[in-house]
Amino acid sequence: MKLGISAATAGILAAAVAATSPAVAQPGVAAPQAALTFTREERTALAPVSQALMMRNWAAAAAALPAALAAAQSPNARYATGRFELDLGRATVNAEQQLRGIERILASGAAQPAEVAALLQLQAQIYNDQREFERAEGALNRLAQLQPNDPDTLALLGQLSRVRNNSAQALTLFQRSLAASDAAGRRVPESRYKLALALALQGERREATADLARRLVTAYPSVTNWRDALLSYRDVAQPDAAARIDIWRLLHATGALAGERDYLAAANAFDQANLAGEAKAVLDEGVGRNMLRASESETRALITRVSGRATTERGGLAGRIASARTAAAGARARTAADA
């Protein structure tokens, strides 16, 4: 809900200056809620503030506000004066006055549920800007009670927990936010996945890292994200040798090998696993993409070492396949498939 001056004060003005009670917003005027009613004394005190705000006469509105506050006895009148304070505070960039207005509106009990949610979010934002993180968190917790499965509220709480150096709680909140987004079929910003993954990696949370890495590349399958996801998982999970080979394969298959260091590391890993064909494929690609220089000593030696073995490996492939088909166990089949 937009919390601007025109819609809110126009509706209150229509009620404040009406001659009869109950007062109803005039046709075509967007009021913050329906059927605002005031006593005669309240209407008399509210009207000058509302009219001054509509005329953008901030000084006149500020001068008339104390009388309106003193006269406001009913929930609707307290709501109206809170709205006036909020609108005046926003117009004059007065954060403290905005906060007073928000509290007055919330305390009145006359705000609609959607407006309460928007006000709590604004309150949290103001406190956050003031670095009053505990108060910002309090406002967001109130908001979370209204909408416990809202992804954005959970993510904001996660951001605050992170700012307050509670990384474990921040990670839990971001995970809840992403799960709620999935349940609602909502697409959330890429940065939210990356921040959650960074928190899991920082905390060396193996299962969370694997889950968030998978979520990241599912939602945003870029080359960079594949690289970040796979390397994050590798660093935290400390997988066995076979799984590390699979990680190199995925990095290669997704185009996520970056630079000379990656290509040489991948080729060496395949070479040490007796997978000369895969090592040669990585080296050929690295040279073709100008990531490797075939004349450089380490690269040249590695190419020489794996090329002959790769030829031999290909030559014996038919025999390996035949052996795999008659094998009782799967080890020979996997070896043939790798080759």
135-159: pLDDT as tens digits: 999 999 999 999 888 999 999 999 9
Write down the H helix ranges in the chain. Answer: 5-16, 40-54, 58-71, 75-91, 95-108, 113-129, 133-146, 151-163, 167-184, 190-202, 206-219, 223-237, 241-253, 259-272, 276-288, 297-315, 317-325, 331-338
Which of 80, 111, 142 is a domain's end point? 111
Say if 188 falls within a structural domain: no
Average pLDDT across the chain, whole number: 85
Query: What is the arithmetic mean of pLDDT over 156-179?
Result: 93
Domain span at residue 38 reads 1-111
**pLDDT at residue 192, rounded to an integer:** 94
pLDDT over 50 (residue 300): yes
* DSSP character string of 122-170: HHHHHHHHTT-HHHHHHHHHHHHHHSTT-HHHHHHHHHHHHHTT-HHHH
26-62: pLDDT as tens digits: 223 233 455 688 999 999 999 999 889 988 999 999 9
Contact status, residue 88 vs residue 120, Cβ threshold 8 Å: no
CB proximity list for 251: less than 8 A, separation 6 or greater? 226, 227, 230, 257, 262, 266
For the CA atoms of the chain, what is the radius of gyration? 32
Q: pLDDT band at residue 309, thresholds of 50, 70 and 90?
A: confident
Give the separation between CA 170 and CA 201, rounded to whole angstroms. 13
Say if 116 falls within a structural domain: no
Which of 88, 111, 134 is a domain's end point? 111
Q: pLDDT band at residue 22, thresholds of 50, 70 and 90?
A: very low
Query: What is the arithmetic mean of pLDDT over 107-112?
Result: 90
**Amino acid identity, residue 50?**
S
Say if 92 falls within a structural domain: yes
Q: Which two tokens stand for residue 16?
A: 């404040």
Which of 95, 111, 127 is a domain's end point? 111
Give the number of domains in the chain.
2
Say if 336 falls within a structural domain: yes
Say if 120 falls within a structural domain: no
Q: pLDDT band at residue 325, thresholds of 50, 70 and 90?
A: confident
Give the separation between CA 246 and CA 12, rounded to whole angstroms. 66
> pLDDT over 70 for what percent of the chain?
83
**pLDDT at residue 229, rounded to an integer:** 93
Q: pLDDT band at residue 265, thresholds of 50, 70 and 90?
A: very high
Say if 14 falls within a structural domain: yes
pLDDT over 70 (residue 328): no
**pLDDT at residue 24, rounded to an integer:** 26
Half-sphere exposure of 195 (CA within 13 A, CB side): 23
Say if 12 falls within a structural domain: yes
**pLDDT at residue 329, rounded to an integer:** 58
> pLDDT over 90 for what percent of the chain?
63
**pLDDT at residue 179, rounded to an integer:** 93
Say if 72 falls within a structural domain: yes
CB proximity list for 41: less than 8 A, separation 6 or greater? 71
Q: pLDDT band at residue 310, thresholds of 50, 70 and 90?
A: confident
SS3 30: coil
Give the separation between CA 243 and CA 251, rounded to whole angstroms. 12
